[in-house]
Chains A and B, each alone.
Chain A
Amino acid sequence: MNLTLVAEQALNGLQLGVMLFLLAAGLTLVFGIMNLVNLAHGALYMVGAYLAAYFFGLTDSFPLAALLAVAGTLVVGMIVELVALRTLYQRDHLDQVLATFGLILFFNELVAILWGRSSIYFALPPWLSGHVELAANLRYPLYRLLIIAVGLSVAGLLWYVVARTRLGMLIRAGASNRAMVAALGVDIRLLYTVVFGFGAALAGLAGVLAGPIYAVQPGMGELILIQVFVVIVIGGIGSIRGALAGALIVGMVDTLGRAFLKPVLSTVVSPTAADAAGPALASMLIYLLMAAVLAFRPEGLFPSRGS
């Protein structure tokens, strides 16, 4: 296999990893701070994608549509937190899993009512749809490079906010001892709503970015959500560093596995056996990875210090 193909697939893996990170960051923050298992996080990603498609149709400007969609998802996330999730923080994980499972059904059907069940595609504006020549023979889509850039900048920004600002200090304090933070006069309920909205906006951003390259359809959130759970379990639940490491690992392993497992296998076993086992093994790879990580490091690669 040639080097160009490997480089291209590695970039694809990086792009998927960055996308997973945008989702995992919000999910892991919400879990680390509010101790909430939110299955409906994928639904917010879907809402982001639909809003982007809708606003793009209205305004015909991708940046404006992206901005409106992220803001819209933030509002939807805050409403969900206020109406349904707020009372669940003190409950056990079982109740949280079920209530957010109910929210998934609700949102999937809601977008089906508003925009129909068939998938919608929105074409990229011409200035984003070109290719960039990165090296000889390696032309890579500009839009996917943009996703990587946006994702990495968000990761940097997130690190700055959490590690260097007052809000970040409150977030970290809330994760390690909520009662103490509340006793010091911080409005913990408001903090939770803000953090949840923040996580929702990140999920919405991932949805906006995903819109032009994946199919926008009801249920799109669940396909990626399970991968995101694998990411945060591998990284260590509650840890943003872990989410970044986990997302990049899962993105790479999944993409490279799908691209190269079959050819690699066929050098070892017969081509027919590789044909049969390759795709199955490739889809199972990240779950095998997760089981292996949990067997050796039950708290994930970067256990969070809070809680």
Chain B
Amino acid sequence: MITSRTWVLVAILLLLAAVPPVAALLHEPFYLDLLRRVMIFAIAATSLNLILGYGGMVSFGHAAYLGIGAYAVGVLAHHGIDNGWLQWGLAIGASALVAAAIGSISVRTSGIYFIMITLAFTQMLYYLGVSMTEYGGDDGLRLKVRSQFSGFIDLNDPTSFYYLVFAILVLFLYLTHRLVNSRFGLVLQAVRSNEARTRAIGFSPYPYRLAAFVISGAMCGLAGALLANQTAFLTPEFMNWTRSGELMFMVILGGVASTAGPLLGAATLLLLEDMLQGWSVLPKWVNDHWQLYLGVILVLVVLFARRGLAGLLPGKERDD
């Protein structure tokens, strides 16, 4: 059944698809860049939403996989391997492996301990990134050549890159939607709402939670590979804990456990940041100290908009 909510999501996606021709028409290539960035973060936020929204696992270390994905691309490129299939494959594989290692310990805990342990593991990776002097350490690494897909697609062309990111976003939104409505997804959501009852009807939560954690990490790893190509530059800051906080904020702002939520959240946060920083319509004291206002907006959203932006959309996501 196609709900009014689905139509809203389709409308947003159509708008995103229309950006390149409109930007070309207006001679504003900047918007292409900005919205590509929005979509990359929407992919990362979608992956986080899988475990945070549907699995009830508040990961405060999701930026780790952005960093691993980015470093997979950067490190291979540093050694002269520009093949995109290899780079992106490594990004996904390495993120999945690390997520399996981190998850195997942290998924056993819950609540505040889960928040803290995911944060701690990401801090470890952050300091690992800082200490790798061969790959730039603190200063980071410049990506001299974007990932090469030998004739299949050229990432140096902003429009092709844009549509590639768009396609991946649509694919991931669809996959997440299918996943959470599958048997697997239903068990995952059952564990979130009542672990004891789920155990009582014969499901062991651990493998389901761990599998979701790994899938989410792998998805976010690909977002990291995209981000490295987007900025052509990577630093340990990709894994900074404030980045993890931003990803969480995107999910909450958009609305947890909703398909369109992470996209709405990522778009709102990044466009808001861009507006507060760069809009000359706003007075200079706002531009200079935009983080002050962003902080206030954040607090207000948490206090008053409890279901996020998706909560304002017509209809309901589900019946629970």
Contacts and interface: CB of A to CB of B under 8 A. Distances in A.
A105 to B, nearest CB: 3
A52 interface: no
B131 A106 contact: no
B130 A283 contact: yes
Interface string B103-123: 001001101110111011101
B186 interface: no
Nearest to B245: A101
Contacts of A101: 242, 245, 248-249, 298
Interface bracket on A: 35 or more
Contacts of A107: 295
B248 A97 contact: yes
Contacts of A60: none
A22 interface: no
A131 interface: no
Interface in A218-245: 222, 226, 229-230, 233, 237
B58 A94 contact: yes
A168 B120 CA distance: 32
Interface string A208-221: 00000000000000
B312 interface: no
Interface stretch (A134-142, A147-155, A192-200, A286-294): A286-294
B281 interface: no
Interface string B125-147: 00110111100000000000000
A291 B120 contact: yes
A294 B117 contact: yes
A91 B302 CA distance: 10
A230 B121 CA distance: 11
Nearest to A233: B116
A97 B118 CA distance: 14
Contact of B292 (A87, A95, A109, A283): A109
A94 B248 contact: yes
Contacts of B119: 226, 229
Interface in A67-97: 84, 87-88, 91, 93-95, 97
A295 B117 CA distance: 10
Q: Is the interface of A mostly helix, strand, loop or mixed?
A: helix
A84 B299 contact: yes
A156 B297 CA distance: 41
Interface bracket on B: 35 or more
A175 interface: no
B303 A84 contact: yes
Contacts of B302: 88, 91, 95, 98-99, 102
A287 B248 contact: no
A30 B54 CA distance: 29
A109 to B, nearest CB: 4
A105 B289 CA distance: 10
Contacts of B128: 280, 284
Given A276-B133, A294-B105, A112 B117 contact: no
Interface string B281-310: 000000001011011111100110010000
B39 interface: no
A31 interface: yes
B213 interface: no
B298 A109 contact: no
A28 B30 CA distance: 46
Which of B113, B249, B303 has the largest count of A CB atoms less than 10 A from its CB? Answer: B303
B241 interface: yes
A255 interface: no
A298 interface: yes
A109 B130 contact: no
Contact of A230 (B120, B252, B299): B120
B61 to A, nearest CB: 11
A145 B248 CA distance: 41
Contact of B289 (A91, A102, A109): A109
B114 to A, nearest CB: 9
Contacts of A283: 127, 130-131
A236 to B, nearest CB: 10
Interface of A: 31, 37, 84, 87-88, 91, 93-95, 97-99, 101-110, 112-113, 222, 226, 229-230, 233, 237, 276, 279-280, 283-284, 287-288, 290-291, 294-295, 298-299
Given A233-B117, A291-B121, 9 more contacts: A93-B111, A94-B52, A99-B302, A106-B292, A106-B299, A108-B291, A226-B119, A276-B133, A287-B123
